[in-house]
Structure 1
Amino acid sequence: MKSTDHIRWGIVGAGMMGREHIANIALQPNASITALADPVASSIESSRSAIGADVPAFADAAALAASGLCDAVVIASPNFTHRDVLAPLMDARLHILCEKPLATTIVDARALAVAAAGYDRVFWTGMEYRFMPPVTEFVAQVHGGAVGALKMLSIREHRFPFLVKVGDWNRFSANTGGTMVEKCCHFFDLMRLIVGAEPVRVHCSGAMDVNHRDELYDGRVPDIIDNSFTTVDFANGVRAMLDLCMFADGAEQQEDISATGDEARLDVHIPAGEIVHSPRVGFRNAKQVTRRHVETDPAALAAGDHHGASFHQHAAFAAAVRGEGPVIVSADDGLRAVAIGLAAEMSAREHRMVEMRELGL
């Protein structure tokens, strides 16, 4: 496939995240959306409105796969559906961008990673946070030696509660894998990327203390963590920490990442888009802090809720489909991010440190 070849896209899961993908595919050259799959009629109509065309719609992924209308497909259906949804799409040999988390259980995630390893088309796990321009620059600076030898990594996300989804499926860990999988696999993926090593143990202290406590769904109260501290020890000796709060609606910065090494500290702030470099202060040296704002295309910012990341991820995915770039986030990356999240969920429930070997990794 050449760079000028047109990519026909299908969207499986036409809800909120599906519509973000629609907006970003619309900004890509030589790409169009040619099919939708979702059992919910209102989601189909909302997505058709976003596309601006009456594209064919199907009740499930199997029917979309059999239609022959698509070259590539986004999986944006509920987390617990991914393994079943992916089977017919892989049988049809479509290029796949599967939203995070790859799956909700270690068994399903491992099965998908094994299947993708032998797949002769692009299989890409959707980890948008890697592609936020300020975060991309931050990672490049850390890898380029801006902090010296990395010793500690800290990620903070203080944000609003989970949004309402169709059928309220995201209120229960059985559907999402738990908050530490559903939300935080992004950050565990970033940890692995930045640290450049695999985790060996995880400790998480977390609970549902504020959000959703007064909600009932068929008599059931939600069971998802809304705040936590998670520490991850990596094989190369680096320590990483995630500070999560899902009831900090008024926070000025939603995400902050800090890398501290033996020579300096580097911070990135989202949505400010600012990178701050703070060298260590020697006995006779004055403190010299430098700040730089990383610009993000306004059209990309307007096309979603991930600071322009979905636009840049789609551009990189299209390059991989056309043979002009690598697969940047593999199914194995998706498996490993899910595994850290599951270890964190286990740790929070059982009040203990969890070794990654307990999950077979």
Structure 2
Amino acid sequence: MRIGLLSFAHVHAEHYQALLRSMPGVELVGFWDDSVHAQSYAERYALKQYLTPQLLLAQALDAVIVCSETSRHREVVELSARAGVHVLCEKPIACTLEDAEAMRDVCAQHGVTFMTAFPMRFDPSCGELRQAVHSGQLGSILGVNGVNHSENPSVHRSWFANPALSGGGAVMDHVVHLTDLLRWCFACEVAEVYAALQWTDGAGENGTALDTAGIVLLTLTNGVQASIDCSWSRPATYPRWGHLKLDVIGTDSLMVIDAFADHLTVYPPDLTRPVQWLGFGVDPNQAMLTAFLDAVQRRQPPPVSWQDGYEATRVVLAAYTSAQQGRPVRLRPARCESTEDPGDGQGS
């Protein structure tokens, strides 16, 4: 399969290129990136650079991974769909619902598969949680506490701190992951959103205020209440980028998920470099890429659909509205606009 990478803007792009090159039967044809760092990416990873996305898309590609700034997702997805190239799109899929809907429409018009990049669905611990919920192992669910903290990603890519490009700060960056896991595990939608956010002056590009932390309270359509503690609170010296955790409290049992707990602590011998936590075990990103390429090759619906990305984006935008208005926001049930089967999220 011939694969292209549309931009190195997202921090995940570097990991994706390494994984794609390790996969049998996959050729990473090259990449497009129009930043000042594009040439350095080409040299560092020995990748062929294309000066425009159109030139890359003209290389008889089967699929692309979209890793541009969030505000540019619509632009590159539309180009890809019109070229008949299938798309795996980074999360959040768009800054606005209008852009998300336009991406859906163009992919449907050209018969192109669109998959949202939610790798945590492919994490074994999250899969065990979903199975425990569906089997009734935990009894009636009383509540869920979720945590997703990280360092400020603008240390690595400055555009994350520019809401015009990213759509927002920590809430936009983190809440989509846990929202998707809740929807997937409980097989229901979010009915109500309430959010209290911390706005940090000067944290955004050009010294603007940016949301760097928040508590988001969700009520699901099945009555389960969940909290999401999201922040960019980890310092640049933290041993890993951050973490994702879930506490699911039931009448019969409590299940705790710490998705990145499996790690080795590495102490550099000269102590001039920071301590690192190196993860081991299954890489959910690799499982996600495998599932996407398998769906494209078999001409089957992807295991994570456009609708999944859309619903998570709806919740994030409702959280910002709630914080601005100081009240809960009710979400109207969204008619499923996608013809894709959401599947089980495990690439089966």
Partner of 2:188: 197
Check whether the contact 2:133–2:186 (CA below 8 A) recurs between aligned residues: no
Partner of 2:51: 59
1:238 corresponds to which letter in structure 2?
V
Check whether the contact 2:113–2:301 (CA below 8 A) recurs between aligned residues: no
Q: 1:48 to 1:17 in 2, by over 3 A?
A: farther
* Matching of residue 49 in structure 1 with residue 63 in structure 2: no
Hey, what's the Cα distance between the residues in 1 that align with 2:114 and 2:39? Answer: 25
How high is the TM-score relative to the length of structure 1?
0.79
Q: Secondary structure at the match of 2:151?
A: coil
Deviations 1:34-54 (A, max 9, x none): 02111125234325522xx34
Partner of 2:94: 103
Hey, what's the Cα distance between the residues in 2 that align with 1:114 and 1:237? Answer: 32
Check whether the contact 2:163–2:204 (CA below 8 A) recurs between aligned residues: no
Partner of 2:73: 82
Hey, what's the Cα distance between the residues in 2 that align with 1:262 and 1:86? Answer: 45
* Matching of residue 331 in structure 1 with residue 306 in structure 2: yes
Deviations 1:189-242 (A, max 9, x none): 111111211111100001124xxx45574xx32332111111111111111110
Among all aligned residue pairs of Structure 1 and Structure 2, give the percentage whose two residues are the same amino acid.
Answer: 23
Hey, what's the Cα distance between the residues in 1 that align with 2:203 and 2:140? Answer: 47
* Matching of residue 232 in structure 1 with residue 207 in structure 2: no
* Matching of residue 254 in structure 1 with residue 240 in structure 2: no
Hey, what's the Cα distance between the residues in 1 that align with 2:116 and 2:244? Answer: 21
* Matching of residue 272 in structure 1 with residue 258 in structure 2: no
Hey, what's the Cα distance between the residues in 1 that align with 2:213 and 2:180? Answer: 19
Q: 1:200 to 1:20 in 2, by over 3 A?
A: same
How far 1:140 moved relative to its partner?
Answer: 2.5
How far 1:324 moved relative to its partner?
Answer: 7.6
Check whether the contact 2:150–2:243 (CA below 8 A) recurs between aligned residues: yes
Hey, what's the Cα distance between the residues in 1 that align with 2:220 and 2:113? Answer: 29
Partner of 1:9: 3
Partner of 2:160: 170
Hey, what's the Cα distance between the residues in 2 that align with 1:105 and 1:156? Answer: 24
Partner of 1:278: none
Q: How many residues get paired?
A: 316
Q: 1:172 to 1:13 in 2, by over 3 A?
A: same
Check whether the contact 2:17–2:28 (CA below 8 A) recurs between aligned residues: yes
How far 1:145 moved relative to its partner?
Answer: 2.3
Q: 1:198 to 1:43 in 2, by over 3 A?
A: same
Hey, what's the Cα distance between the residues in 2 that align with 1:114 and 1:214? Answer: 38
2:52 corresponds to which letter in structure 1?
D
Check whether the contact 1:207–1:348 (CA below 8 A) recurs between aligned residues: no
Check whether the contact 1:339–1:359 (CA below 8 A) recurs between aligned residues: no
Gaps of 5+ in 1: 1-6, 275-295, 301-307
Deviations 1:154-193 (A, max 9, x none): 2112332223355x22112222121322332111111111
Runs of 4 or more, structure 1, over 3 Å off, are 114-119, 213-217, 248-253, 358-361
Q: Secondary structure at the match of 1:183?
A: helix
Partner of 2:118: 127
How far 1:119 moved relative to its partner?
Answer: 4.8
Q: Which has the higher contact order (CA 8 A, sep 6+)?
A: 1
How far 1:325 moved relative to its partner?
Answer: 6.0
Q: Secondary structure at the match of 2:197?
A: strand
Partner of 1:305: none
Check whether the contact 2:130–2:186 (CA below 8 A) recurs between aligned residues: no
Hey, what's the Cα distance between the residues in 2 that align with 1:118 and 1:216? Answer: 37
Deviations 1:315-347 (A, max 9, x none): 111211121864111111111110100001111
Check whether the contact 2:161–2:203 (CA below 8 A) recurs between aligned residues: no
Check whether the contact 1:207–1:228 (CA below 8 A) recurs between aligned residues: yes
Q: 1:157 to 1:188 in 2, by over 3 A?
A: same
Hey, what's the Cα distance between the residues in 1 that align with 2:214 and 2:143? Answer: 18
* Matching of residue 140 in structure 1 with residue 131 in structure 2: yes
Q: 1:248 to 1:120 in 2, by over 3 A?
A: same
Deviations 1:271-324 (A, max 9, x none): 2149xxxxxxxxxxxxxxxxxxxxx865x6xxxxxxx22111011112111218
How high is the TM-score relative to the length of structure 2?
0.82
